[in-house]
Chain A
Amino acid sequence: MFKKILATTALAVGLAGAAFADDKTKVGFVYVGPINDGGWTQGHDHGRLELEKHFGDKVETVFVENVPEGPDAERVMTQMALTGTDIIFTTSFGFMDPTLNVAAKFPDVKFEHATGYKSAENVATYSARFYEGRAIQGTIAGRMTKSNIIGYIGSVPIPEVVRGINSAYIHAKKVNPDVEFKVIWIYEWMNPAKEADAAKALLEQGADVILQHTDSTAPLAAAKEAGAIGFGQASDMYDFAPAPRVSSIIDNWAPYYIERTQAVMDGTWETVNTWDGISTGMVGIGEITDAVPADVKAEALALKDAIVAGTYHPFTGPLNKQDGTPFLAEGEVADDGTLAGMNFYVEGLTGDVPQ
């Protein structure tokens, strides 16, 4: 009897699902962290909510949070595809191979993988030029530090993270030649306990500015306690303003999600490799608070304007690699291919890129 009831409801819901499937575009999201992490995943989920707001009844969004990178991700994506999802955004680097595997099995479903480098006919990739934001962050950090030691919490040593460290360092050094970077790698994207430990270790080593490429607000909390400053990462983290959070790099995925979903609706979706920066709004610079002197703020904003206008590229020569070999000649600008695979430090940084 019980089984019968279950079967009947299953059937009813199944039919209802089928009826909806035709007029609504179903958009799926696979998240590596919880939607309230205050950083990376929250940024993507904000994009999802904006997408819902934009399209109203025309879309249905689904998501799974806290998905470990690896086979679990593959299963989640497959089940999403099987339940009639039209386009699936997979928002962590480690979802790359699983995304490709699942996409091969569902040629009619569109996939979008964030921050990876493998694509296919139905797999597009997208990422943001966070290093543009890092240039502004580095400028503020270089001006603000009194101890001349800047702490940097690295997550997983993929090119995106190495690029961020280089960009921040280049611009901190430009405004403050005495500046020194200390980098601690935690090998995870989000782990509040480890992030807090890393922040404390950096503070104990004399850092008074903490930069982070990890997703939680734990480093800001540690900085607050020590009277140091930091920056919001991925989300604005405005709860910590005006200090320790003096500015932030905000990932704004909403316009991209809306554009790509529209393309699915119109039947014009094609695989692309999107890499947008501050100029399109994919990377946002959060309000620079009054904890930063007006002249430093003006300098940072001028740099931002130059990047938006395209008159300045954060990786402009002369620059050497850490070992002293030339990287970019005077006036030369790094090409996207080099940036995409960057796994070396620029001259002046100490320590090694883990390998």
Chain B
Amino acid sequence: MISLVKRPQPSKAWVVATPILAVIVTMILGGLLFAAMGKDPFVAIRTIFWDPLFNPDFAAYSRPQLLVKAAPLILIAIGLSLGFKAGIWNIGAEGQYIIGAITGASVGLAFYPMEAWFIFPLMIIAGALGGFLWGLIPALCKTKFNAPEILVSLMLVYFAEQIMIAVSLGALRNPEGNGFPGSRNLAQYASSANPELIAGTGAHWGVMAAFAAVVAAYVLLSKHMLGFQIRVTGESPRAAGFAGINANRLIIFCLGTSGALAGLAGLFEVTGPAGQITTSFNTGYGFTAIIVAFLGRLNPIGILLAGLLLALTFIGGELAQFMLSLPSASIQVFQGMLLMTLLAMDIFVNYKVIWRKKEAV
């Protein structure tokens, strides 16, 4: 019979191997699903995983789009992972993303139509600050009143959505918008635009920021005292207390930083790919980033890869929809399969699987 034996230490080899194995298992399971729907499973899997990267007709476009789609996910997930490592649960990145976009866009629109080099940097600062302050609300509620940050940060998402609706209909509404809601297009206003830095690469400032965040988080967690404190607090809050780690300071740092990064993601999105604040500006990056953070095992490099993988399934999934007429629900099932398999594979990291002959009792 099969039995599981807990490993004394999580297996390093399996940590690397399980994601790859999970993708392969998902390809097989997904293939069966698509076959059951009457589609050629090989073509379907190829369309999702291969075509966005290598199809001669359109990969030149979809490859850079991977970066565009993954950048906000990675940027937000890096911030979230710091808190998650320390047991501080920021579920409201979506709200911080919205607020960052609004504060950043407001600064840009305040200068419209003036053209100056300093407008975009000011917007970046405003975006980060907006997200930071929005993230600070659950932090202060936690440290002052011991209110659960999970609940407070989540509720603030809905609050932020209402603010977004209000400003796209009111304060930030484009006066030349023919009565339609939504702000001016920031991507079409030179001083606030966040275009591709090198044509054809998809890499805008947000992509750069995402890469920088990965490096910074890596250094922080592996080399810096604060990173050590985060890890200790996550693994044993009591031990952290005895070691004199200031829990409140850590809460404020983690929620504030993840808020600032989410705000930056919102700012880069609203000035680039999205272009304007509308009543439907947010599309769930803040929530998807939670999945990315865990998929990447709260490790900066892991998050980078997880963000790219998830972006690939989004883009490949769209291709599969219109090239193979697969319904969008089946793509969501497929994405769900991928996440479930990845989490299920975790068992190999923490447990050893042993074949044992049944012994007589």
Query: Contact residues of A with B, CB < 8 Å?
Result: 6-7, 9-10, 13-14, 17, 28, 34-35, 62-72, 74-76, 78-80, 82-84, 93-94, 97, 117, 156-159, 162, 187-188, 340-343, 354-355
Q: How many Å from the CB of A313 to the closest CB on chain B?
A: 20
Contacts of B323 in A (CB 8 A): 62, 83
Contact status B46-A10, CB under 8 Å:
yes
Contact status A62-B179, CB under 8 Å:
no
Contacts of A63 in B (CB 8 A): 321-322, 325
Interface centre among B42, B179, B273, B283 (most CB of A within 10 A): B179
Q: 6 closest Cβ contacts across the A-B interface?
A: A71-B273, A343-B179, A82-B58, A62-B322, A341-B179, A68-B283
Q: Within 8 Å of chain A (Cβ to Cβ): is B148?
A: no
Given contacts A7-B54, A10-B54, A156-B279, 12 further A-B contacts (CB under 8 A): A14-B55, A34-B327, A64-B321, A65-B328, A76-B318, A79-B318, A97-B276, A156-B181, A156-B280, A188-B279, A341-B179, A342-B179
Contact status B318-A71, CB under 8 Å:
no
Q: How many Å from the CB of B309 to the closest CB on chain A?
A: 17
Interface centre among B57, B165, B275, B322 (most CB of A within 10 A): B322
Identity of the chain B residue whose Cβ is nearest the Cβ of A82 in the assembled complex: B58
Q: How far is it, in angstroms, between the C-alpha of A146 and the C-alpha of B54 when the chains are bound?
A: 64
Q: Within 8 Å of chain A (Cβ to Cβ): is B51?
A: yes
Q: Which of A6, A69, A75 contacts B50 (CB 8 A)?
A: A6
Interface residues of B in 43-101 (CB under 8 A from A): 43, 46, 50-51, 54-58, 61-62, 65, 68-69
Q: Within 8 Å of chain A (Cβ to Cβ): is B149?
A: no
Q: How many Å from the CB of B177 to the closest CB on chain A?
A: 9
Contact status B180-A158, CB under 8 Å:
yes
Contacts of B69 in A (CB 8 A): 75
Q: Within 8 Å of chain A (Cβ to Cβ): is B278?
A: yes
Query: Contact residues of B with A, CB < 8 Å?
Result: 42-43, 46, 50-51, 54-58, 61-62, 65, 68-69, 165-166, 169-170, 173, 178-181, 185, 269, 273-276, 278-281, 283, 315, 318-319, 321-323, 325, 327-329
Identity of the chain B residue whose Cβ is nearest the Cβ of A160 in the assembled complex: B180
Contact status A9-B55, CB under 8 Å:
no
Contacts of B178 in A (CB 8 A): 117, 159, 340-341
What would 27 A/B residue contacts be, using CB atoms closer than 8 Å? A6-B46, A6-B50, A10-B46, A62-B322, A62-B325, A64-B321, A65-B321, A67-B318, A68-B280, A69-B278, A69-B280, A70-B280, A71-B273, A75-B315, A75-B318, A79-B315, A80-B322, A82-B57, A82-B61, A83-B322, A83-B323, A117-B178, A157-B169, A158-B180, A355-B169, A355-B170, A355-B181
Interface centre among B42, B178, B319 (most CB of A within 10 A): B178
Contact status B180-A83, CB under 8 Å:
no
Contact status B322-A28, CB under 8 Å:
yes
Contact status A70-B278, CB under 8 Å:
yes
Contacts of B179 in A (CB 8 A): 158-159, 162, 341-343
Contacts of A94 in B (CB 8 A): 278, 280
- Decide: A97 near B58, CB < 8 A? Known: A13-B43, A64-B318, A159-B178: no
Q: How far is it, in angstroms, between the C-alpha of A156 and the C-alpha of B180 when the chains are bound?
A: 9
Contacts of A72 in B (CB 8 A): 283, 318
Q: How many Å from the CB of A32 to the closest CB on chain B?
A: 9
Q: How many Å from the CB of B264 to the closest CB on chain A?
A: 16
Q: How many Å from the CB of A216 to the closest CB on chain B?
A: 16
Q: How many Å from the CB of A28 to the closest CB on chain B?
A: 7
Q: How many Å from the CB of B318 to the closest CB on chain A?
A: 5
Contacts of B275 in A (CB 8 A): 97
Identity of the chain B residue whose Cβ is nearest the Cβ of A30 in the assembled complex: B322
Identity of the chain B residue whose Cβ is nearest the Cβ of A116 in the assembled complex: B180
Contact status A70-B273, CB under 8 Å:
yes
Q: How far is it, in angstroms, between the C-alpha of A342 and the C-alpha of B179 when the chains are bound?
A: 7
Interface centre among B278, B279, B321 (most CB of A within 10 A): B279
Interface centre among A63, A70, A157, A342 (most CB of B within 10 A): A70
Contacts of A354 in B (CB 8 A): 165-166, 169-170, 181
Identity of the chain A residue whose Cβ is nearest the Cβ of B49 in the assembled complex: A6
Q: How far is it, in angstroms, between the C-alpha of A17 and the C-alpha of B323 when the chains are bound?
A: 10
Identity of the chain A residue whose Cβ is nearest the Cβ of B281 in the assembled complex: A70
Q: How far is it, in angstroms, between the C-alpha of A62 and the C-alpha of B318 when the chains are bound?
A: 11
Identity of the chain B residue whose Cβ is nearest the Cβ of A156 in the assembled complex: B279
Contacts of B269 in A (CB 8 A): 71
- Decide: A157 near B328, CB < 8 A? Known: A9-B42, A28-B322, A70-B273: no
Contact status A64-B322, CB under 8 Å:
yes
Q: How far is it, in angstroms, between the C-alpha of A159 and the C-alpha of B177 when the chains are bound?
A: 11
Contacts of A6 in B (CB 8 A): 46, 50
Interface centre among A7, A75, A117 (most CB of B within 10 A): A75
